[in-house]
Amino acid sequence: MQGGPATPRGAGTAICLAVPNTPYEETARVQPREIGKAPTGIQGLDEITHGGLPLGRPTLVCGGAGSGKTLLATSFLVNGAQLYGEPGVLMTFEESGGEIAGDVASLGFDLAALADAGKLFVDYVRIERSEIEETGEYDLEGLFVRLDHAVRSVGARRVVLDTIESLFSGLSNSNILRAELRRLFRWLKERGLTAVITAERGEGTLTRQGLEEYVSDAVILLDHRVTEQVSTRRLRVVKYRGSHHGTNEYPFLIGRDGLSVLPVTSLGLSHRASLQRISSGIAELDGMLGNHGYYRGSTVLVSGSAGTGKTSLAAHFADAACRRGERCLYFLFEESPHKLMRNMRSIGIDLQPWVTQGLLRFHAERPSRAGLETHLAMMHQLVREFRPTVAIADPITNLVSIGSPNEVRAMLTRIIDFLNVSEVTSLFTSLAGTNNQVADGESGVSSLMDAWIVLGTDEVGGERRRRLSILKSRGMSHSNRIREFELTASGLRLLGHPGLRSTPTAVGE
Amino acid sequence: MSAVAARPVPAVTNSPDAGCREFVLRLYVAGQTPRCMRAFVNLKQFCELYLADRYQIEMIDLLRDPAQARRDQILAVPTLVRRLPEPVKKIIGDLSNTQRVLSGLDLRAEAL
């Protein structure tokens, strides 16, 4: 085809040009790598969806009653208006504007103020079958007129229809309705509006009225399960055309700051390992840990039977962090903060000043108050919010009461992954059986830990003596001795004398 | 009047207080679509037949006044709203079924 002067390189080009319609080329053209995204501003959700909902397209959000659909949709709108300069329209079919405003006010959303500022338009579509007589043909042009008017009024880029399925109970002619819904979603797409359409979960189908047939760009499923009186909310991206997305079920929380999704399962094992060391708060223990204490960002397990001093060790660690001016987040699953602080004062550790200075934050909660997922999400949210360098969970054993060992292990894996990535040094205490025996569940958890300190007691001459040993501490040479220690009025003190079996050697051998 | 009397449904003027009740009706349309025009023609005929001399029809084109759709909770087009006598009643569709319009306007009970 090409003339004689074509160089081999030119010939190659000619071949490429001659066959532009290979299947590969075709696919590459019709499926752009990633479509545009409209960020939801919902913590975690934008991570799972790699940036947000499909820009200029409708997304279906389905779930049972009380699963958080309206909240997700409203957050999407409010964040759009407040954070991303995209005004929105909220068309609600179930609750009146006032009711919705009341529902989301507790999350700090002020719909009325946004409406006054021209960033949000709320239209409540009320439809009551008993008040309406149907005779002959009709269409839903009134709905289109309203939506169009609303969109124009605020220059909307985002639209929420919550829950449009209610039309099916208000109007009897479902053929007309289906045709009109199809037209509506096309209408939204033609205008490039990023829309969220909420729908009730159906029996064996995603939505009661099969809306997934019409809205097929992205589908998010919300779920609210109650197992043994403990509730857990989960979110799953069922479908996202033209984009990668996390496919797991992610726990999510409805807290005072709105909705937050926990994307921790998406974490890999790629976090950096720090070489920096931080003090355990006990000089002699630092000595046993290769003279420098724990690795920053590592995970420490402290296990022992009741009354062996696990919390004391944790309190030292917290105190040391605050002394360095770092922030410490302390999860309590058994005691109240006041009780803990009172008890620690008896060994000379006063944590109150750190709380006052805002360096130490306690979060006390009974494990049975919520499901594992919810605890996980809560811990996740607090860590993100408070940004501690040190986190303590005391004791994790109590979590076992609300889940099977496997579930607890999975949850801990996720929280540990998350803490590692956030470069938070964490310390978990665990209640072991008596006689220093390692419980089954514990041995499962311990493999996740970088360091494991075992506490125990021995009866010697009618006296109970405490002892401490380092079972493992990855990446450093550590003492293998069993050391005796005391809880004194000035803190936990390792005794210079040898422990039970070992021969006397210098501290920090 | 003879034409009315021949109808299966008796003329509403037979009812004791029907004669003094004024009907204020509003027909919501969106542009001059065939369906909307048909609704108007059907309504006009209906009113002449059952509500002669005691009705008002106001036609509202939502394309001209879109905000009205929200104020009056209009969704379907065409929609006929009986504003008076109260309570407010709504009939959606092209009003091709006279029986339905009668019951929608609460005229049936009055007529019987």
Query: Mean pLDDT, 10 residues at a time, over chain A (509 residues)?
Result: 42 38 40 76 87 94 89 94 95 82 82 94 88 88 95 96 88 90 94 94 84 85 79 86 82 77 59 84 91 91 89 95 95 92 94 95 86 80 91 85 74 82 90 56 70 89 88 88 90 69 42
- Identify the pLDDT of residue A143: 94
Alpha-carbon distance of B80 to B25, in angstroms, equals 7
Alpha-carbon distance of A502 to A494, in angstroms, equals 15
B101 vs A contacts (CB less than 8 Å): 133, 135
Same domain, A331 and A422: yes
Spatial CA neighbour of B80 closest among A103, A131, A429: A131
A140 and B77 within 8 Å at the Cβ level: the answer is yes
Cβ neighbour number for residue A235 with a 10 Å cutoff: 27
Residue A2: inside a domain: no
Domain that holds residue A316: 277-494
Same domain, A291 and A227: no
A120 with A81: CB under 8 angstroms? yes
DSSP assigned state of A396:
G
Q: H/E element holding B81?
A: strand B79-84
Same domain, A115 and A83: yes
Same domain, A185 and A315: no
Over residues B46-71, the pLDDT tens digits come to 999 989 888 999 999 999 999 999 98
ipTM: 0.81
Residue A484: inside a domain: yes
- Identify the pLDDT of residue A498: 44
Asked if the model's pLDDT at residue B110 lies above 70, the reply is no
Mean pLDDT of the region B10-27: 64
Same domain, A122 and A41: yes
Interface test with B, best of A135, A154, A161 (most B CBs within 10 A): A135
Query: Cα–chain-centroid distance for residue B80?
Result: 6
Cβ contacts of residue A187 below 8 Å, gap of 6+? A144, A147
Residue A453: inside a domain: yes
**Number of domains observed in the structure of chain A:** 2
- Identify the pLDDT of residue B8: 44
- Identify the pLDDT of residue A30: 44
B100 vs A contacts (CB less than 8 Å): 133-135
A77 with A90: CB under 8 angstroms? yes
B91 with A137: CB under 8 angstroms? no
Instruction: Give the chain B residue whose CA is nearest to the CA of A153.
Output: B67
What is each CA distance from A131 to A19, A174, A305, B90, in whole angstroms? 64, 18, 69, 6
Residue A14: inside a domain: no
Q: What percent of chain B has pLDDT over 90?
A: 51
Beta-bridge mates of residue A214: none
Residue A54: inside a domain: yes
The partner residue sitting opposite A146, judged by closest CB among B69, B90, B93, is: B69
Cis ω before A263 (30° cut-off from 0): no
- Identify the pLDDT of residue A417: 81
| Burial (Cβ within 10 Å: 0-12, 13-18, ≥19) of residue A501 | exposed
- Identify the pLDDT of residue A107: 78
Alpha-carbon distance of A335 to A363, in angstroms, equals 10
Domain boundary among A223, A242, A266: A266
Domain boundary among A218, A236, A266: A266
Domains of chain B with CATH codes: 22-111 (3.40.30.10)
Spatial CA neighbour of A62 closest among A176, A183, A143, A165: A165
Same domain, A254 and A320: no
The CA angle B55-B57-B61, to the nearest 5 degrees, is 170
Residues 382-411 of chain A whose Cβ lies under 8 A from any Cβ of chain B: none
- Identify the pLDDT of residue A66: 83
Q: What's the 3-state SS for B32-48?
A: CCHHHHHHHHHHHHHHH
Residue A416: inside a domain: yes
A388 with A358: CB under 8 angstroms? no
Cβ contacts of residue A272 below 8 Å, gap of 6+? A297, A423
Same domain, A71 and A147: yes
A45 with A25: CB under 8 angstroms? no
Domain boundary among A209, A237, A266: A266
Residue A352: inside a domain: yes
Amino acid at A377: A
Rounded to a whole number of angstroms, the distance from the CA of A127 to the nearest CA of chain B is: 8
Same domain, A261 and A309: no
